[in-house]
Amino acid sequence: MRDYSIGEVARLAHVSVRTLHHYDAMGLLSPASRSEAGYRRYSAEDLGRLQQVLLYRELGLPLKEIARVMGDPSFDSRQALVCQRDQLVDRADRLLTMVELIDRTLATEREGSTMDDDELFEVFGDFDPREHEDEARERWGDTDAYKESARRTARYGKDEWRTIKEEGDRITAGMAALMLQGAPPDDPRAVDLAEAHRAMISRWFYPCSPQMHAGLAQMYVADPRFRANYDDVAPGLAQYAHDAIVASVKGA
């Protein structure tokens, strides 16, 4: 079976030689062997591993997280590919919808007409920041957290909501990857992602204490709508995210 030089791998994968050196230094992708002269030689298996690294990168996972996910002894490359495919298909569908929406927006501007509210928010797909607004006001309208969230989000436009969704999607994708490889929800990596989720809420909405985060986690499994947000990504993910958040609260 043939092997590949670092230059050949760089050309095949459309990455730089420097990137491959960096992946080697991180332990993310080390060559299968070295030539007599000491040059890196990559195997077909190495190319498959590089493909998965680049797919995870495309899904927005940081390199350190990719290294931890793929370095776990229970990592299943085939199952990871299935999960990556599902997430990329969802992303492709969403991007196509966004392109179509932009085309319609440009067309209405050329014609001097306007789009209604529903059309403006189609870019978010199933995510509509206004969806539970009335219910949230009724349930938590008197709380400081709700008032702070309302104050902050009143300033947000489509760019901010898109950033929030993309950040949340990255955390969810990381949780799904860990669950599918068999990592327990109290795994340090899952706990780190739970903490990243709490930090995201604090950054964009309101100061979220560990105790408040635990309350949200309970809602994620108790409310069918919130459960579906996770379980549509991977069955069982809502419970996994709940348990990871609980584990993070215990360690706080």
Q: Is CATH 1.10.490.50 what the domain over 128-251 is classified as, yes or no?
A: yes
Helix (H), strand (E), coil (C) string for 31-51? CCEECCCCCEEECHHHHHHHH
For the chain, give the mean pLDDT. Answer: 81
What are the domain boundaries of the chain? 4-56, 128-251
Task: Please give the C-alpha separations between residue 168 and each of 76, 79, 245, in angstroms, as whole numbers.
Answer: 24, 22, 14
Q: How many CB atoms lie within 10 A of CB 188?
A: 12
Quick check: 132 pLDDT over 60? no
Supply the pTM of this predicted model: 0.50
User: What is the number of alpha carbons within 13 Å of residue 153 lying toward its C-beta?
Assistant: 19
CB of 115 closer than 8 Å to CB of 104: yes
Work out the pLDDT band at 185, boundaries 50, 70, 90: very high
Q: Which runs of consecutive H residues, i.e. helices, occur in 112-187?
A: 117-120, 133-140, 144-153, 158-180
Which span out of 101-110, 120-129, 171-180, 204-213 was modeled with the highest average pLDDT? 171-180
Residue range 105-111: mean pLDDT, rounded: 66
Q: How confident is the model at residue 41 (pLDDT cuts 50, 70, 90)?
A: very high
For domain 4-56, which architecture applies?
Answer: Orthogonal Bundle (1.10)
